[in-house]
C-alpha cells in the first residue's frame, strides 16, 4: 500500500499537477465522548485548475469537514483515518509545519460564513490584509498596503484607502465579506474554498457577493470549492457539483445536468423538495423525503440512503454500492437510471402515478392556471385581523430608531399573508407588536375579530391570547429544554381551559395532528430533531384553536427535506381549521408557495401588498423587482439582476420622503426625496407605494447601477 | 407509517436520563472522589465529635501545657494543656454548620434576586445592579467586619452576615444566566400563554438556571469556609470556647516561634478541608458542564 | 472620543462612590442601632449613653448626619476617632500608603505570573498539563492567607531564618530593607491570586484561540507564535484587565488578615482595629477610602480596555 502511495505521490510531484485539489478515498473520524464516529467515508473528488466545484448537502453531511480537512485544520478531536489529500500537487497530510504554512499562505485560501467574526476586531483592515503580503511575498509595510488597496478595489470597494483605516465593526456585512474575499484572493491561490459564504446575508447582498465571486473566478482563474446547502445558489456559481449525504459522495457531475437530470434518489428527492418558482399550495403538496438522517458512521455494509429510498431493493440494504461512472458523471447507486422515476411522497400510494391533486377544490380544477385562494372572501367580509398605522420607535442612546412605520394591513379568515423583507425591514418587530411582546407607538390600532386588541400580551384576555399565536423560527430556543413535550403542549392547553382527562385527550389529538407519536410525548427537546421540535412548536401554537398564527421564518433553521414536510403540515392545518397565517420569510419561493397575498417591507415601511401572483408577476415596486431578480431560483439563471446602489441606510437615520429613494434604480427625481408616496392601487386588491404609476412600473428594466460606495462613517 | 413519521428523530441513543449520566460521570471523576473523601472524613469527625477522640478535647491539664507531640499527645498540647489532636478532630463542627448555612442562605436569596432583576429588568435592575456594583468595591472581609462590629458576633449573625454578603455575588451570576434565558423564545411563548411574571420566573426559567446556581453554591461553599476561618482568626467569627481551628490559630500564633505544633496542625486541617470542598466543587463543575 | 468616554466613566464612578458612601454610612449608623450603646456596652448607664450620642452628634436626624459627614469627608476632614480622640485622616493616609506598597509588590508579582500561567494552560487546553495548572491554581487560591502565611512564617522565619517574621520594619529603613520585609507577606497573596488571574487569562485565551479570526490568521500561513502575539493576546487579555482592577482594589484594602499576622500598619489592619474598638468614624472613613481606591482602579482598567478594544471606543454601533 505505502509503495503505491509514494509512487502516486511521485507521479503527482514530478508531472504537471493539473488538479488544484485531489481527494482520494478520504476517511475522517471524530472522537465524541468515548466513541469515534466516522464523518466522511471513502470520499474522492478532484477539481481541475480553473474549475469551480460545488459541494452540496444538508446539515450533518460532512461538507464543512471536507473544507477543514483540505486545509488541515480539523478540530482537536478529529483525525484523518484514511486516504490522501493533494492540494496544488502536494500531499497535504505529509507536509512539515513550515511547508504547510507556505501552502496556506500561497496555494489555498478559505472564506467562510459570518465574515464579521473572521476579522480580528481590534486590528485595522489594512493591517490584516497587509499581513498576507508580508507572509507570502515578503513585502514590507508600504508596499503591502498598496497591494491591499489594489485588492479592495478589485472587489469593488470604492475608497479603498478609507476602508484600510477602518475596523471590522465599522463595516456592513456585505462589505466585510468583500474584504474577506479580497484577503483570500490576495496571493492568487490555486484553490479557493468557500464554506457557506452567503448564508446569513440578505438576498440582495448575497446576489452581489455571488456575482463578485463568479467575476473574480473568471478574471483570476483559480479553482473554487464552494460548499453550501442552498442548491440554487451553488448552481449559479459552479461548473460541477457533488452531492454529499451522510459523509458519502452520492452523486457528481456538471451542475446543469445534475440539477436538470439527477441520477441518485437523494438528489431527486432534494430537488423535488424545493418549492419551484411561482408554485403555490393550491397546486399540490410539496415533496418530502421520509425517514431521518442516519447518525454518522452508523450504516456500514449497505447503501447509506437505503432507509429512506422508495426505490430500494434487498440488494441496497445488504451491499454498499460503489460509485458508478455514467460518462462524465457518477452516482453511488445500483439503479441510477431508475432515479428520475422515484415515486412521489406527497401523494398517497394510490395517487402516486396520478398528477398531484390540486387543493383549490372545484374552483381550481376548472381553470388551467393557479386556483383562486380557497376559503378566502373577495374582501367583502370583515377581516379577522386588522392593523392601522402600526408603528414602533425604539430609543437607542437617546436617538429614535423607527423599526416599523405606519403599517396598515388586513388579514382575512383562512388566508395566508406572506411578509417579505430583508434585515432591518422591521418584519420581526411587526410580529412582536402583533403578539403584544413590544408596545406600539401611540396612534397604532390593532383589531382582532372586530374587537380592539390591547397592546401588550399581559393585558389580553385568554380568549384573545388563544386566538393569536406564533410559531418561532428557531425550534431550539422556542422550547423550554427542561420540560417534556407533554408539559410543553400541556401548559398551552391550560389556555384552552382544559384539565385532567379532557386535557390528556386533546393533547393526544394535537400530537397526532402534527404527526408526533405518543412516544415523543415523554421526551425532552434535546432528544428531538429540528423538524420534530418545530412540530411541537406548531402543536403548541394550535393548542387553543387559534384564528391567526404568526409564522416567523418557521422553516429557515431547518434542512430542505424537513422544510417541505413542515410547510405541508402548516398548509394542511390551515385547510382543516380555517386559520389565517401571517407568514414571515426571506425565502421568496417558500413565501409564494404558502401565501395567498404578499406584503413587502423595507425599513419599516409597507412598500407593496397584493395577491401573491400579482406581486410576483408585476407590475411591482422597484424594490420587489430587485428582490425577485436576486432570487437564485434554479429556473432563474438567465435573468439579469437588478442591482441596488449604495448600502442599506441606518434605521437611526431614515431617508426623507420615500425610504427607498437612496437605492432605487428608478428614482424619478427630487420628488422621491421630498414626499413619501402614498399606497396607490395597482390592480385588484393590489397596492404599491411609489410615485411612478403602476402602468409604468411594469415597463422594461433599467440598466445596472454603478458600483458600491464606501460605508457611511459611524456604521 | 414512514410518511407519518417523516423526519422523525432516531431513538435516543441510550435510555439513560440526564441524571443517571451525570451520576456515572461523577463517580469517575478523580477530583470529585478525592474531594468527597476528604469532606466526608471531616463531616464524620464533626458528627461523631468527642466520641471518637482519644482524649477529652475540652479537658484542661495545667501540668502538661505546651507539650510537644509525643505518644501520649500525638499533636502535643496547647496553652491550657488540652490535647490538640482531639481538638483538631472536633474543630470542624462549627465551621461545617456555619459555612454551609451561610452559603445556602446566600444562594437562595441570590437566586431569587437574580431571577427578579434578570427577568423583570427596568428600574429594579438598574438600581439593584448599581448597588451591587458599589458593594463590589469593597473586599468582603471589610464588609463583614463592619457589619459584625455593628451587630455583634455570634454564630447566627455570622451566618446572616456572610449569607447577605454572598447574595449580591450569586445574584450577579444568576442574573447573567437569566438575561440569556429571557431572550430565548420559550419565555415569549410563556407570556403568550398568559403566564404571569412569577410563573415565568419560577416555572419556566428557574429549572434552566438551577444547575448554574448549584455550581455557584459549591464554589461559594469553599470560599465560605475560607471566610469563616479567616473571621474566626480575627475574632469576628466563631467564638470561644469552640475548638474551631481559626480560634486556635488566633490564640496561639504569637507562640509560633517556639511552639509550632500549636498552630501547624490546625492550619493543615483547615487547608485540607477547604481543598476537599474545592475539589468537590471542581468535580461537580465538570460534571455539570456536559 | 476617548475624552467623552473618560468623562462618562468618571461620572459613573462618582455615582458608585456616592451610593457606597450611603451604604457605608447607613451600615455604621443603622446597624448598631444605638451608636452610644454599641460603643459603651450593654452595661453602661443610659445617661452616659445619651451624653455620648449627643457628643458625637448621633442624635441628629440621619440625613443631616450623612450630609455633615460626607461634606467633611470630601474636604479631607474625616472626623474624629472615638478611640484616639484625634483626627482620622492622618491615620488613614499613612495606613493607605503602606497598604499600597504591599499591594504594588504583590500585584507586580502575581499579574505577570498569572497571565503567563493562564496563556500557557490555554495553549494546552484539555491536556493533563492544563488540568493540572487549573487545579493547582484553584487549590492554592482556596487556602486562606493566614494558613499559608503561618506555614511560610514557620518555614522561612522560624526554621530557616531567611526572612523577617513580621513586616514591622525599623524607623527610617531604606527601600531595599522595606522590600525584604514585604516579601513574606506578599507570597501568600501571590499564591491565593495566581489561580484567580490565571483562570481569567486562560478563559480569555481559549476564547481567542477558538475564534474565527484566529482561524483566519492561521490559514493565512502565519506561524503559531506570530498568531499568538499579534492576534490572540490582545483579545485574550481584555477580560483580564477588568479582573486586575478588582484585584488591585482588594489588595489595597482587603488584607486584614495578612496585615494583622505580620503586624503591618496597613489600612486593613486599621479597619480591623477600628471594628474591634467600635470606632465608627475611623471604620467608616477607612471603608470609604478602600472603596475609592477600587473605583479609581476600575476607571483605569476601563480606560485600558477601551485603548485595546476599538469597539468600546465608538460606543457600539
Pairing of strands A580-585, A548-552: parallel
Contact state of C216 with A123 under an 8 Å Cβ cutoff: no
CA atoms within a 13 Å half-sphere pointing along the CA-CB vector of C259: 27
Q: How confident is the model at residue A254 (pLDDT cuts 50, 70, 90)?
A: very high
- Higher pLDDT: B5 or C243? It is C243
- pLDDT of residue B40 exceeding 50: yes
Q: Which residues in chain C are closer than 8 Å to B134, comparing Cβ atoms? A: 16-17, 19-20, 23, 291
Over residues A141-146, the mean pLDDT reads 89
Q: Is A435 among the domain residues? A: yes
The 10s digit of each residue's pLDDT in B87-138 is 888 888 899 999 999 999 999 999 999 999 999 988 899 889 888 888 888 8
Over residues C283-297, the mean pLDDT reads 87
Note down the domain range covering B246.
Answer: 28-40+80-289
- pLDDT of residue A605 exceeding 50: yes
Same domain? A607 vs A649: yes
What mean pLDDT is reported for chain C?
84
Over residues C207-227, the mean pLDDT reads 90
- pLDDT of residue C168 exceeding 90: no
- pLDDT of residue B68 exceeding 80: yes
CA distance, residue C122 to nearest chain A CA (Å): 13
Q: How confident is the model at residue C195 (pLDDT cuts 50, 70, 90)?
A: confident
Rounded to 10 degrees, what is the CA torsion of C293, C295, C298, C302?
-140
- pLDDT of residue B248 exceeding 50: yes
Q: Is A358 among the domain residues? A: no
Residue C235, chain A, CB below 8 Å: the answer is yes
Q: Do the beta carbons of residue A591 and residue A420 sit within 8 Å?
A: yes
Q: Is B61 among the domain residues? A: no
d(CA B29, CA C128): 14
d(CA B149, CA B153): 7
d(CA C139, CA B42): 18
In this structure, what DSSP letter does residue B239 have?
P
Q: Do the beta carbons of residue A125 and residue A179 sit within 8 Å?
A: yes
Q: Is A586 among the domain residues? A: yes
Q: Is A368 among the domain residues? A: no
Q: Identify the closest residue of chain A to C314 by CA–CA distance.
A: A714
Residue B216 belongs to domain with CATH number: 1.10.3720.10
Same domain? A28 vs A134: no
Cα angle B210-B211-B216, degrees, rounded to a multiple of 5: 95
Beta bridge partners of A216: none
Q: Do the beta carbons of residue A603 and residue A652 sit within 8 Å?
A: no
d(CA B70, CA B85): 11
The 10s digit of each residue's pLDDT in B206-247 is 999 998 898 888 888 888 988 898 899 888 888 887 888 888
Q: Is A27 among the domain residues? A: yes
Rounded to 10 degrees, what is the CA torsion of C159, C163, C168, C173?
150
In this structure, what DSSP letter does residue A246 have?
T
Q: Is B250 among the domain residues? A: yes
In this structure, what DSSP letter does residue A274 have?
S
- pLDDT of residue A544 exceeding 50: yes
Q: How confident is the model at residue A5 (pLDDT cuts 50, 70, 90)?
A: very low
As a residue count, chain B comes to 290
The 10s digit of each residue's pLDDT in A701-713 is 443 333 344 343 3
Over residues B56-83, the mean pLDDT reads 83
d(CA C158, CA C150): 10
Over residues A144-166, the mean pLDDT reads 90
Q: Is B63 among the domain residues? A: no
Q: Do the beta carbons of residue C143 and residue C193 sit within 8 Å?
A: no
pLDDT at C31 (0 to 100): 67
The 10s digit of each residue's pLDDT in C55-90 is 777 778 878 888 888 888 888 787 888 888 888 888
Choose among B192, B204, B207: nearest Cβ to A465. Answer: B192
Contact state of C254 with B142 under an 8 Å Cβ cutoff: yes
pLDDT at C307 (0 to 100): 79
Same domain? A654 vs A513: no
- Higher pLDDT: B173 or C164? It is B173
Most A-contacting residue of B2, B188, B189, B211 (CB-CB within 10 A), to test interface: B189
- pLDDT of residue B139 exceeding 70: yes
Q: Is A706 among the domain residues? A: no
Same domain? A142 vs A158: yes
Cα dist. B156→B99, B151, B160, B220, C272 in Å?
A: 11, 11, 6, 19, 21
Grid cell in block for residue A369: 392556471
Over residues A450-457, the mean pLDDT reads 89
- pLDDT of residue A349 exceeding 60: no
Q: Which of residues 5-44 of B touch C (CB under 8 A)?
A: 31
Chain B contact partners (≥3 CB pairs within 8 A): A, C
Percent of chain A with pLDDT over 70: 88
What three-state secondary structure class fits A418? strand
Cα dist. A675→A603, A608, A661, B1, C223 in Å?
A: 16, 17, 10, 60, 58
Q: How many domains does chain A have?
A: 4
pLDDT at B150 (0 to 100): 80
d(CA B10, CA C252): 59
Cα dist. A317→A293, A310, A311, A324 in Å?
A: 16, 12, 11, 17
What three-state secondary structure class fits A379? coil
Pairing of strands A399-411, A548-552: unpaired
Q: Is B75 among the domain residues? A: no
Residue A334 belongs to domain with CATH number: 3.40.50.300
Choose among A76, A110, A117: nearest Cβ to C211. Answer: A117
Same domain? A208 vs A341: yes
Going A648 to A649 to A651 to A654, the CA torsion angle's sign is negative
Residue B257, chain C, CB below 8 Å: the answer is yes
pLDDT at A163 (0 to 100): 92
Over residues A431-441, the mean pLDDT reads 92
Same domain? A93 vs A210: yes
- pLDDT of residue A47 exceeding 90: yes
Grid cell in block for residue B5: 413519521
Grid cell in block for residue A632: 437564485
The 10s digit of each residue's pLDDT in A258-267 is 988 999 999 9
pLDDT at B206 (0 to 100): 94
CA distance, residue B174 to nearest chain A CA (Å): 17
Final residue before a domain boundary, out of A188, A208, A224: A188
Whole-complex ipTM: 0.81
pLDDT at A346 (0 to 100): 59
What three-state secondary structure class fits A20? strand
The 10s digit of each residue's pLDDT in A51-108 is 999 999 988 888 889 999 999 998 888 889 899 999 988 899 899 999 999 999 899 9
Minimum mean pLDDT range among B108-117, C168-177, C259-268? C168-177
pLDDT at A700 (0 to 100): 40
- pLDDT of residue A384 exceeding 70: yes
For the beta carbon of residue B52, count every other beta carbon within 10 angstroms.
12
Pairing of strands A52-56, A223-228: parallel
d(CA C295, CA A86): 58
Residue C278, chain B, CB below 8 Å: the answer is yes
Q: Is A194 among the domain residues? A: yes
B201-208: long-range contacts, CB 8 A cutoff, minimum separation 24: B201/B115, B201/B116, B201/B119, B202/B115, B204/A480, B205/B115, B205/B119, B205/B178, B205/B181, B206/B111, B206/B115, B207/A480, B207/A482, B207/A483, B208/A480, B208/A481, B208/A482, B208/B177, B208/B181
Q: How confident is the model at residue B53 (pLDDT cuts 50, 70, 90)?
A: confident
Final residue before a domain boundary, out of A338, A353, A368: A353
The 10s digit of each residue's pLDDT in A610-642 is 999 888 887 889 999 888 888 766 555 555 677
pLDDT at A361 (0 to 100): 34
Q: Is B4 among the domain residues? A: no
Place of cell 443610659: C46
Same domain? A647 vs A620: yes
Over residues A171-178, the mean pLDDT reads 88
Contact state of C143 with B271 under an 8 Å Cβ cutoff: yes
- Higher pLDDT: B19 or A166? It is A166
Same domain? A128 vs A259: no
Final residue before a domain boundary, out of A188, A216, A242: A188
Same domain? A57 vs A136: no
Q: Specify which of A462-471, A491-500, C16-25 reaches the highest per-range mean pLDDT.
A: A462-471
- pTM to 2 decimals? 0.83
Same domain? A446 vs A584: yes
Choose among B139, B229, B235: nearest Cβ to C254. Answer: B139
Rounded to 10 degrees, what is the CA torsion of C201, C202, C204, C210?
150
Over residues C233-249, the mean pLDDT reads 84
Closest CA to A280 of A183, A370, A399: A370
Most B-contacting residue of A59, A290, A485 (CB-CB within 10 A), to test interface: A290
Place of cell 489532636: B85
- pLDDT of residue A26 exceeding 80: yes
* Chain centre distance of CA C99: 10
pLDDT at A4 (0 to 100): 34
Q: How many domains does chain B have?
A: 1
For the beta carbon of residue A528, count every other beta carbon within 10 angstroms.
22
Grid cell in block for residue C87: 483626627
pLDDT at B106 (0 to 100): 95
Note down the domain range covering A642.
Answer: 599-697
Place of cell 444566566: B177
d(CA A231, CA B120): 44
What mean pLDDT is reported for chain A?
83
Q: Identify the closest residue of chain C to A189 by CA–CA distance.
A: C220
Question: What are the DSSP calls for A579-643, one per residue?
Answer: -EEEEEES-HHHHHHH-SEEEEEETTEEEEEEEHHHHHHSS--HHHHHHHHH---GGGTTPPPPP
- pLDDT of residue A11 exceeding 60: no
Over residues C113-138, the mean pLDDT reads 88
Amino acid at each position: 500500500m505505502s509503495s503505491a502511495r509514494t509512487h502516486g505521490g511521485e507521479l503527482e510531484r514530478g508531472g504537471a499537477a493539473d488538479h488544484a485539489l485531489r481527494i482520494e478515498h478520504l476517511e475522517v473520524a471524530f472522537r465524541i465522548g468515548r466513541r469515534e464516529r466516522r464523518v466522511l467515508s471513502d470520499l474522492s473528488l478532484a477539481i481541475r485548475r480553473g474549475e469551480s466545484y460545488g459541494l452540496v448537502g444538508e446539515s450533518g453531511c460532512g461538507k464543512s469537514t471536507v473544507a477543514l480537512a483540505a486545509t488541515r485544520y480539523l478540530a482537536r478531536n478529529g483525525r484523518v483515518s484514511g486516504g490522501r489529500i493533494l492540494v496544488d500537487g502536494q500531499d497535504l497530510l505529509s507536509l512539515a509545519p513550515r511547508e504547510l504554512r507556505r501552502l496556506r499562505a500561497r496555494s489555498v485560501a478559505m472564506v467562510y460564513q459570518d465574515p464579521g467574526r473572521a476579522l480580528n476586531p481590534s486590528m485595522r483592515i489594512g493591517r490584516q490584509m497587509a499581513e498576507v503580503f508580508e507572509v507570502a511575498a515578503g513585502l514590507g509595510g508600504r508596499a503591502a498596503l498598496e497591494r491591499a488597496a489594489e485588492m479592495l478595489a478589485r472587489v469593488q470597494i470604492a475608497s479603498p484607502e478609507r476602508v484600510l483605516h477602518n475596523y471590522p465593526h465599522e463595516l456592513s456585512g456585505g462589505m466585510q465579506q468583500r474584504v474577506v474575499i479580497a484577503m483570500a484572493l490576495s496571493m492568487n491561490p490555486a484553490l479557493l474554498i468557500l464554506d457557506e459564504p452567503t448564508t446569513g446575508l440578505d438576498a440582495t447582498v448575497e446576489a452581489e457577493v455571488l456575482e463578485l465571486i463568479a467575476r473574480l473566478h473568471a478574471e483570476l482563474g483559480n479553482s473554487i470549492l464552494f460548499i453550501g446547502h442552498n442548491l440554487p445558489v451553488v448552481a449559479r456559481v459552479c461548473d460541477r457539483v457533488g452531492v454529499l449525504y451522510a459523509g458519502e459522495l452520492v452523486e457528481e457531475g456538471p451542475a446543469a445536468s445534475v440539477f436538470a437530470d439527477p441520477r441518485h434518489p437523494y438528489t431527486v428527492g432534494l430537488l423535488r423538495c424545493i418549492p419551484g418558482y411561482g408554485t403555490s399550495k393550491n397546486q399540490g403538496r410539496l415533496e418530502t423525503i421520509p425517514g431521518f438522517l442516519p447518525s454518522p458512521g452508523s450504516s456500514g455494509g449497505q447503501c447509506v440512503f437505503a432507509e429512506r429510498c422508495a426505490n430500494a431493493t434487498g440488494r441496497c440494504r445488504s451491499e454498499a454500492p460503489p460509485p458508478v461512472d455514467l460518462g462524465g458523471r457518477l452516482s453511488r447507486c445500483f439503479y441510477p437510471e431508475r432515479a428520475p422515476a422515484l415515486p412521489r411522497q406527497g401523494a398517497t400510494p394510490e395517487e402516486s402515478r396520478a398528477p398531484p391533486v390540486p387543493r383549490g377544490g372545484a374552483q381550481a380544477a376548472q381553470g388551467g392556471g393557479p386556483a383562486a385562494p380557497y376559503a378566502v372572501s373577495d374582501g367583502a367580509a370583515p377581516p379577522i385581523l386588522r392593523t392601522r398605522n402600526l408603528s414602533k420607535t425604539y430609543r437607542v442612546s437617546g436617538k429614535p430608531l423607527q423599526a416599523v412605520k405606519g403599517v396598515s394591513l388586513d388579514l382575512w379568515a383562512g388566508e395566508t399573508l406572506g411578509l417579505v423583507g430583508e434585515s432591518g425591514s422591521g418584519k420581526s418587530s411587526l410580529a412582536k407588536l402583533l403578539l403584544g411582546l413590544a408596545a406600539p407607538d401611540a396612534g397604532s390600532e390593532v383589531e382582532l375579530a372586530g374587537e380592539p386588541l390591547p397592546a401588550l400580551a399581559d393585558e389580553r384576555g385568554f380568549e384573545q391570547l388563544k386566538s393569536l399565536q406564533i410559531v418561532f423560527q428557531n425550534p431550539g430556543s422556542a422550547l423550554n429544554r427542561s420540560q417534556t413535550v407533554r408539559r410543553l403542549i400541556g401548559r398551552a392547553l391550560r389556555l384552552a381551559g382544559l384539565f385532567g382527562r379532557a386535557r390528556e385527550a386533546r393533547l393526544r389529538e394535537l400530537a397526532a395532528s402534527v404527526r408526533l407519536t405518543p412516544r415523543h410525548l415523554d421526551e425532552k427537546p434535546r432528544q428531538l430533531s429540528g423538524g420534530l421540535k418545530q412540530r411541537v412548536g406548531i402543536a403548541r401554537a394550535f393548542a387553543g384553536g387559534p384564528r391567526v398564527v404568526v409564522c416567523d421564518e418557521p422553516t429557515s433553521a431547518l434542512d430542505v427535506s424537513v422544510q417541505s414536510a413542515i410547510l405541508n403540515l402548516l398548509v394542511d392545518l390551515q385547510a382543516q381549521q380555517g386559520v389565517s397565517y401571517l407568514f414571515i420569510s426571506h425565502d421568496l419561493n417558500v413565501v409564494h408557495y404558502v401565501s395567498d397575498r404578499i406584503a413587502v417591507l423595507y425599513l419599516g415601511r409597507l412598500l407593496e401588498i397584493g395577491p401573491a401572483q400579482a406581486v410576483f408577476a408585476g407590475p411591482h415596486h422597484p424594490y420587489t423587482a430587485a428582490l425577485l431578480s436576486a432570487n437564485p431560483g434554479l429556473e432563474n439563471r438567465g435573468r439579469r439582476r437588478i442591482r441596488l446602489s449604495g448600502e442599506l441606510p441606518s434605521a437611526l437615520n431614515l431617508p426623507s420622503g420615500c425610504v427607498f429613494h437612496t437605492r432605487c434604480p428608478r428614482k424619478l427625481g427630487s420628488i422621491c426625496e421630498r414626499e413619501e408616496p402614498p399606497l396607490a392601487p395597482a390592480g385588484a386588491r393590489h397596492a404599491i407605494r411609489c410615485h411612478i404609476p403602476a402602468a409604468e412600473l411594469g415597463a422594461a428594466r433599467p440598466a445596472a447601477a454603478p458600483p458600491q460606495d464606501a460605508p457611511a462613517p459611524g456604521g | 407509517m414512514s410518511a407519518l413519521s417523516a423526519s422523525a428523530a432516531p431513538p435516543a441513543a441510550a435510555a439513560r436520563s440526564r441524571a443517571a449520566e451525570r451520576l456515572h460521570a461523577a463517580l469517575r471523576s478523580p477530583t470529585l472522589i478525592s474531594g468527597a473523601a476528604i469532606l466526608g472524613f471531616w463531616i464524620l469527625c464533626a458528627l461523631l465529635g468527642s466520641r471518637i477522640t482519644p482524649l477529652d478535647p475540652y479537658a484542661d491539664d495545667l501540668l502538661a501545657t505546651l507539650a510537644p507531640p509525643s505518644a501520649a499527645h500525638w499533636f502535643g498540647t496547647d496553652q491550657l494543656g488540652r490535647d490538640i489532636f482531639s481538638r483538631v478532630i472536633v474543630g470542624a463542627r462549627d465551621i461545617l454548620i456555619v459555612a454551609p448555612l451561610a452559603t445556602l442562605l446566600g444562594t437562595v436569596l441570590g437566586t431569587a434576586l437574580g431571577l427578579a432583576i434578570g427577568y423583570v429588568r427596568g428600574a429594579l435592575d438598574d438600581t439593584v445592579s448599581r448597588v451591587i456594583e458599589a458593594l463590589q468595591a469593597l473586599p468582603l472581609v471589610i464588609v463583614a467586619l463592619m457589619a459584625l462590629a455593628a451587630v455583634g458576633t455570634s454564630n447566627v449573625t455570622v451566618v446572616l452576615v456572610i449569607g447577605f454578603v454572598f447574595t449580591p455575588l450569586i445574584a450577579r451570576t444568576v442574573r447573567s444566566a437569566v438575561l440569556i434565558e429571557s431572550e430565548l423564545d420559550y419565555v415569549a411563548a410563556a407570556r403568550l400563554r398568559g403566564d404571569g411574571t412569577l410563573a415565568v420566573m419560577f416555572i419556566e426559567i428557574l429549572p434552566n438556571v438551577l444547575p448554574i446556581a448549584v455550581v455557584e453554591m459549591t464554589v461559594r461553599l469553599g470560599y465560605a469556609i475560607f471566610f469563616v476561618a479567616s473571621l474566626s482568626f480575627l475574632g469576628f467569627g466563631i467564638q470561644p470556647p469552640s475548638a474551631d481551628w481559626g480560634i486556635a490559630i488566633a490564640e496561639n500564633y504569637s507562640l509560633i516561634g517556639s511552639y509550632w505544633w500549636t498552630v501547624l496542625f490546625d492550619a493543615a486541617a483547615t487547608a485540607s478541608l477547604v481543598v476537599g470542598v474545592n475539589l468537590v466543587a471542581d468535580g461537580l463543575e465538570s460534571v455539570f458542564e456536559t | 472620543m476617548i475624552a467623552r468616554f473618560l468623562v462618562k466613566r468618571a461620572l459613573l464612578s462618582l455615582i458608585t462612590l456616592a451610593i457606597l458612601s450611603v451604604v457605608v454610612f447607613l451600615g455604621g449608623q443603622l446597624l448598631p442601632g444605638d451608636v452610644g450603646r454599641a460603643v459603651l456596652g450593654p452595661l453602661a448607664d443610659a445617661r452616659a449613653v445619651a451624653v455620648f450620642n449627643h457628643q458625637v452628634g448621633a442624635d441628629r436626624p440621619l440625613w443631616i448626619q450623612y450630609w455633615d459627614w460626607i461634606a467633611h469627608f470630601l474636604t479631607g476632614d474625616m472626623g474624629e476617632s472615638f478611640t484616639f480622640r484625634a483626627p482620622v485622616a492622618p491615620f488613614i493616609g499613612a495606613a493607605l500608603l503602606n497598604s499600597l506598597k504591599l499591594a504594588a509588590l504583590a500585584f507586580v508579582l502575581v499579574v505577570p505570573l498569572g497571565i503567563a500561567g493562564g496563556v500557557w494552560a490555554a495553549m494546552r487546553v484539555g491536556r493533563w498539563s492544563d488540568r493540572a495548572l487549573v487545579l493547582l491554581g484553584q487549590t492554592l487560591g482556596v487556602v486562606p492567607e493566614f494558613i499559608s502565611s503561618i506555614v511560610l512564617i514557620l518555614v522561612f522565619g522560624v526554621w530557616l531564618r531567611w526572612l523577617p517574621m513580621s513586616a514591622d520594619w525599623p524607623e527610617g529603613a531604606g527601600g531595599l530593607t522595606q522590600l525584604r520585609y514585604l516579601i513574606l507577606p506578599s507570597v501568600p497573596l501571590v499564591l491565593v491570586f495566581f489561580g484567580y488571574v490565571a483562570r481569567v487569562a486562560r478563559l480569555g485565551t481559549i476564547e481567542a484561540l477558538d475564534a474565527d479570526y484566529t482561524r483566519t490568521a492561521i490559514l493565512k500561513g502565519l506561524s503559531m507564535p506570530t498568531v499568538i502575539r499579534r492576534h490572540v493576546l490582545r483579545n485574550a487579555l481584555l477580560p483580564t484587565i477588568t479582573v486586575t482592577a478588582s484585584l488591585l482594589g482588594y489588595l489595597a484594602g482587603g488584607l486584614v488578615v495578612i496585615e494583622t499576622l505580620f503586624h503591618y500598619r496597613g489600612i486593613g489592619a486599621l479597619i480591623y482595629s477600628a471594628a474591634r474598638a467600635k470606632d465608627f468614624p475611623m471604620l467608616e472613613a477607612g471603608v470609604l477610602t478602600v472603596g475609592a481606591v477600587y473605583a479609581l482602579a476600575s476607571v483605569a482598567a476601563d480606560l485600558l480596555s477601551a485603548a485595546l478594544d476599538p469597539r468600546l471606543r465608538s460606543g457600539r454601533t
